[in-house]
Structure 1
């Protein structure tokens, strides 16, 4: 990504040569194999919520911070067994961490000087390279989707822990976990399902509805509620639009009541934001939790504080995960099969990355796990 913002997401990308210096102590030269197309790449191309070029003080940024790389060379003075030459590794997207190991700045996003996976070769800190398990039962595309799963792991465990502080011993089978559509929400609902909860999630296409059903999640057809989002600025004076929203809201709440025996959602995974936040709160049970680790369509939220206090609603905000937890999450994925289902990914060749950017932004991708191939395996 280079220069000023000049239009759509594909137009913000430019293929060019770039140079980086020799390997510093503790760095590895890598060859990206597969990169996952994450929401942060879309945000970077849209220059919202921040302009990463301006934030980093750089004219050109190489994006792409989750995926699989092959290690070509490791600095001889800092050879790390985890990142030995020839190893296939997951890139962990940590630019800067706080004292507890949580991300403050993201690698290949807002951390200056970091080089992402949208390059034929790159160099990175060996501490950010986590080997794919040897003799793994899963494919590289399944592993390349790990970023959504690691993020979901952290968000789910924090949300579930908060819920248990108020609902200490009731059976999860009596409670509903609901998610607005997305790969992270899907991964969280699979954890909720393992924990014994009822699980449901919205989807806006026949392909995704079938996918959710195949994986044991109650699929809610988003097309049944066409006016559920907040009216746009242009629609605020349109009385018909407000009536349509009231109709969609009533139908959605009826469905939630049906799925939850009238109690509402125990844990609501909402990574959309402002357009649906009031719907999320309206569907939430007493002692319910809103779990969020993203902001696809609006960062600024508002609610009636008194009402939220009386209902004992908790709001859990997380971002990425804790760096030291990474090996344990990977090992859980390998041991338990909590990973992108086989055949669920869609892969664009490197030359088609601008097309991938446009398709993602405009909702033309059926898979929850879009990715790009940089180099052959």
Structure 2
């Protein structure tokens, strides 16, 4: 990614040589195989909420912080924290800087200066970030490539569920609804919620996604039934008809969530959208409900009535990435329990078509929750 460009996100990508020095102690040279297209890459290309080039003080940044790589060379030195070896297929953990508890403060190949992502034929990185795939794994590299959504979902769901249980200590989850706006992370969280015994439902905006959710035991709520659900934008603020359309869409949507929850509302609402739907999320919450988020696809600045949230005993959970030391355990749970991106559910773009992928993602033209790109052959 290079300096500001006109046009869509794909126009901000530039193909060309990118030089880096020899391996320092604790570094590995890797060959990316499959990368996962993530919301942080879209944020970087649109330069919102930050301009990562300016933030890092660099003219160009190689994006891509989640995917499967092959280790070509390793300079582990005396480190005892490196588990990968030359020739291993590994998952890249996207930690540029961690706090004292192992949570991410800066993300690799995003806002962490000097880090090189997977949109390159070769890359070098801190070898501690390479987590080997399970030996003899039962799952394809395409399925593993979407692990970032699952690792993020694991962390966010465990915190949200734990918070919910502090107020609803012993009631059967089968009496309660977990709902999510669309997205791969929300899908992964709902699959965990389903395992825990909750009723689960999710919004979807296409026939393909409606069928996909139903196939995996999640009640689909067709977003197209509520065409004016998002908050009016600035140009629409004075349009009375638009506000009336929204009032009707919100009323219809809340009726659906009440029906699915026996009139109680949503126990845990996974909302990674943000400002355009935030008031709808809060309106759908049950008493003692939890709104949980680990992303901000369409608006970071939120407002609510603190008194109403307090009286409703609503808990707001905000997480980012996951805890680095938890990574092996999450990987092992995926392998043993089959909590994976379903086989064949990804859509993959060739390396030369990554600019098309960027534009298709930004404009909602991808039906899959798991868009990926290939870099090098296996």
TM-score by length of 1: 0.99
Query: 2:302 matched to which residue of 1?
Result: 301
Shift of 1:232: 0.4
When residues 72 and 174 of structure 1 are mapped into structure 2, their CA distance, relative to the original with a 3 A threshold, is same
Separation (CA, whole Å) in 2 of partners of 1:230 and 1:89:
42
Other structure's SS at 2:136 match:
coil
Structure 2 Cα separation of the partners of residues 21 and 6 of structure 1: 32
Q: How does 1:221-232 map to 2 (within 5 A)?
A: 221-232=222-233
Post-superposition shift, 1:5?
3.7
1:65 equivalent to 2:65? Answer: yes
**CA distance in 2 between partners of 1:312 and 1:3 (Å):** 46
Q: Give structure 2 stretches of 5+ with no counterpart.
A: none
Q: 1:264 offset after TM fit, Å?
A: 0.1
- Mark the CA change 1:249 to 1:29 in structure 2 (over 3 Å): closer, same or farther: same
CA distance in 2, matches of 1:47, 1:292: 21
Distance 1:78 1:21, change over 3 A: farther
| 2:53 aligned residue | 53
Distance in 1 between residues matched to 2:208 and 2:18, nearest whole Å: 39
Query: What is the count of residue pairs matched by the alignment?
Result: 377
State yes or no: 1:320 paired with 2:282: no
1:265 aligned partner: 266
CA distances 1:252-279 after superposition (whole Å, capped 9, x unpaired): 0110110000000000000000000000
Flag structure 1 segments of 5+ consecutive residues without an equivalent: none
C-alpha distance in 1 between matches for 2:24 and 2:264: 57
In the aligned structure 1, how far is the partner of 2:233 from the partner of 2:17? 41
Measure the CA separation in 1 of the matches of 2:182 and 2:352: 28
Residue matched to 2:338: 337
Q: Following the alignment from structure 1 to structure 2, what is the Cα–Cα distance between the partners of residues 12 and 20?
A: 21
| Structure 1 vs Structure 2 CA RMSD | 0.8
Cα shift at 1:7: 2.8
Question: Could you say which residue in structure 2 is the equivalent of 1:28?
Answer: 28
Q: Distance in 2 between matches of 1:27 and 1:228?
A: 48
Q: Please name the residue that 1:12 is paired with.
A: 12
How far off its partner does 1:308 sit?
0.5
- Confirm or deny that 1:83 pairs with 2:84: yes
**Aligned position for 1:188:** 189
Deviation at 1:4, TM superposition (A): 2.1
Comparing 3-12 and 201-210, the one that deviates more: 3-12
**2:312 maps to what in 1?**
311
**Conservation of the 8 A alpha-carbon contact between 2:76 and 2:127:** no
Give every structure 1 segment of 4 or more consecutive aligned residues whose post-TM-superposition deviation is greater than 4 Å.
78-81
Q: Once structures 1 and 2 are overlaid, which stretch shifts more, 76-85 or 346-355? A: 76-85
Conserved 8 A contact 1:5-1:47: no
CA separation in 2, counterparts of 1:8 and 1:60?
A: 18
C-alpha deviations, 1:109-160, integer Å up to 9, x for none?
0000000000000001110000010100000010010000000000000000
Contact preservation (8 Å) 2:257, 2:284: yes
Write out aligned runs for 1:84-99 (5 A): 84-99=85-100
Q: CA deviation at 1:76?
A: 5.7
Q: 1:117 to 1:241 in 2, by over 3 A?
A: same
1:114-263 matches, within 5 Å, as: 114-263=115-264
**2: distance between equivalents of 1:158 and 1:71?**
33
